[in-house]
């Protein structure tokens, strides 16, 4: 995990005081501009200023490669006989850049370890490349645009400013959501006027996002980090750490999405929902339809379906082993590789690929539904167990660390560890209830809906209390 930064040291974090000042100034100027042309130009400049705050050189790289994709897409329309050439060039540029920055350090260290294992004295490369913030997210936005233009699903935009803004839009550029060009570009091109509805839609998202990040995720993170830094935690403590991380990662990532969507609403844009109660899932497919929805749909539309169509086109029957196994396995492997350069991420992706295949073979894929409430409860309990075990693999410092703990660690290593288990589980239950409460309030009759406003007011008070404290980066900043 990346080191924690204070709110004043990380201006790109939505919870930093510096960002709040930045957005307040941007908001005031933005709505003084009456035409979308000037709003877009100003918003683009602000987005690159935001991104360049961390690394000016990576901002230049983002601007240059985005401009290249813009002209490659125009070239596809102008020179129809070279469409595939333009597409290949874009794929090589974008995937090559993503792979180089994301996996250089990983393969350098892995290759050195292999050579050292056979007796060759080789050191990893001295150069350690810093990963450009948001490269995994904005690369997928660029790829969806170039692939949609190539397939004829959409026509290329004619304004470089509009396309650059689509890619670099500051509420999304670091950690999504990964909005498709057909959703966000028409909003960028349309005229925008301030409406009270913008604020009404934004403020609950902003309050809940800040609450989930500052109050829930950052509090649970302290416990999670202390467990996963131990050399050999007891198996029961490891399981508690997995449950705690299960809560932390949902609170943290959904908090970023909530704030991102709230900021977008304040600027007149409606962006995508990214989470839909994922821990109520009954199957692995159901989980990925609810978790990180914009990534899941991207993987489905640009990897899973093309792989399946390619296999069917080569004569494989829809029920054949190849058609059932290869698309989900390769798609989820791509998900693991997208998340990070490490064996834990790769195995985590394969883990979900195997789960999806297993559920399909058991007849529990797609639109499967349980026959009774008892079946629903059992299906949920089993799936939630798989989710927690997956997050333990995802969060572990290394595969070797996890294997060693599973083989050699006792259930509990000491009486003090038993106390830690109680403390962690009490905290997880308490903060989980705080997260569940808004959903429960929605079930109340209309006359009791004022309790939702009371909850948001209490959450806002907690945010004000916590916002002056230090806050670590959002988890998905590292991806």
- The residues annotated with a catalytic role in the active site are 339
- Whole-angstrom distance, CA of residue 92 vs CA of residue 432: 44
Question: Exposed, middle or buried, 126 (CB in 10 Å: 0-12/13-18/19+)?
Answer: exposed
- Whole-angstrom distance, CA of residue 383 vs CA of residue 281: 7
The count of other CB atoms within 10 Å of the CB of residue 201 is 16
- Whole-angstrom distance, CA of residue 434 vs CA of residue 235: 27
Q: Tokens representing 156?
A: 């290329």
The count of other CB atoms within 10 Å of the CB of residue 263 is 24
Max CA separation in the chain (angstroms): 74
- Whole-angstrom distance, CA of residue 450 vs CA of residue 448: 5
Question: Exposed, middle or buried, 445 (CB in 10 Å: 0-12/13-18/19+)?
Answer: exposed
Q: Tokens representing 362?
A: 């058991």
- Whole-angstrom distance, CA of residue 447 vs CA of residue 96: 56
The helix or strand, by DSSP H or E, that contains position 47, with its residue range, turns out to be helix 36-52
- Whole-angstrom distance, CA of residue 365 vs CA of residue 312: 19
- Whole-angstrom distance, CA of residue 195 vs CA of residue 248: 35
- Whole-angstrom distance, CA of residue 473 vs CA of residue 235: 28
> What is the residue whose two structure tokens read 């693991």?
336
Phi/psi at 258 (5° precision): -60, -45
């Amino acid at each position: 995990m990346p080191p924690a930064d204070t709110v004043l040291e990380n201006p790109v974090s939505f919870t930093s005081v510096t960002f709040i000042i930045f957005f307040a100034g941007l908001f005031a100027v933005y709505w003084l501009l009456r035409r979308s042309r000037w709003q877009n130009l100003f918003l683009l400049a602000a987005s690159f200023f935001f991104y360049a705050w961390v690394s000016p050189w990576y901002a230049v790289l983002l601007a240059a490669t985005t401009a290249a994709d813009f002209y490659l897409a125009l070239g596809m329309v102008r020179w129809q006989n070279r469409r595939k050439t333009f597409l290949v060039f874009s794929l090589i540029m974008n995937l090559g850049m993503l792979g180089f920055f994301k996996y250089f350090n990983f393969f350098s260290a892995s290759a050195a370890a292999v050579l050292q294992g056979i007796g060759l004295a080789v050191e990893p490369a001295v150069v350690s490349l810093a990963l450009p913030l948001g490269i995994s997210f904005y690369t997928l936005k660029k790829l969806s645009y170039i692939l949609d233009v190539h397939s004829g699903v959409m026509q290329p935009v004619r304004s470089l400013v509009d396309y650059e803004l689509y890619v670099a839009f500051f509420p999304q550029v670091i950690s999504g959501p990964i909005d498709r060009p057909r959703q966000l570009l028409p909003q960028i091109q349309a005229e925008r006027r301030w409406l009270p509805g913008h604020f009404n839609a934004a403020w609950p998202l902003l309050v809940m996002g800040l609450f989930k990040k500052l109050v829930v995720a950052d509090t649970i993170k302290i416990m999670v980090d202390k467990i996963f830094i131990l050399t050999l935690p007891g198996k029961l403590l490891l399981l508690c750490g997995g449950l705690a991380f299960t809560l932390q990662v949902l609170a943290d990532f959904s908090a970023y999405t909530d704030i991102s969507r709230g900021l977008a609403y304040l600027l007149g844009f409606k962006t995508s929902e990214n989470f839909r109660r994922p821990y109520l899932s009954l199957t692995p497919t159901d989980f990925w339809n609810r978790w990180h929805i914009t990534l899941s749909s991207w993987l489905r539309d640009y990897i899973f379906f093309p792989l399946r169509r390619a296999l069917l086109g080569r004569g494989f029957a829809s029920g054949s082993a190849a058609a059932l196994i290869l698309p989900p396995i390769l798609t989820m492997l791509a998900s693991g590789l997208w998340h990070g350069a490490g064996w834990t991420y790769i195995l985590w992706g394969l883990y979900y690929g195997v789960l999806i295949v297993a559920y399909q073979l058991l007849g529990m894929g797609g639109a499967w539904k349980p026959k009774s409430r008892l079946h629903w409860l059992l299906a949920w309990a089993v799936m939630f167990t798989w989710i927690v075990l997956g997050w333990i693999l995802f969060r572990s410092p290394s595969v070797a660390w996890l294997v060693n703990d599973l083989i050699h660690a006792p259930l509990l290593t000491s009486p003090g560890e038993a106390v830690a288990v109680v403390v962690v589980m009490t905290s997880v239950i308490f903060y989980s209830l705080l997260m569940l409460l808004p959903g429960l309030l929605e079930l109340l009759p209309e006359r009791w809906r004022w309790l939702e406003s009371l909850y948001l007011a209490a959450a806002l008070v907690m945010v004000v209390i916590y916002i002056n404290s230090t806050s670590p980066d959002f988890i998905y900043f590292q991806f």
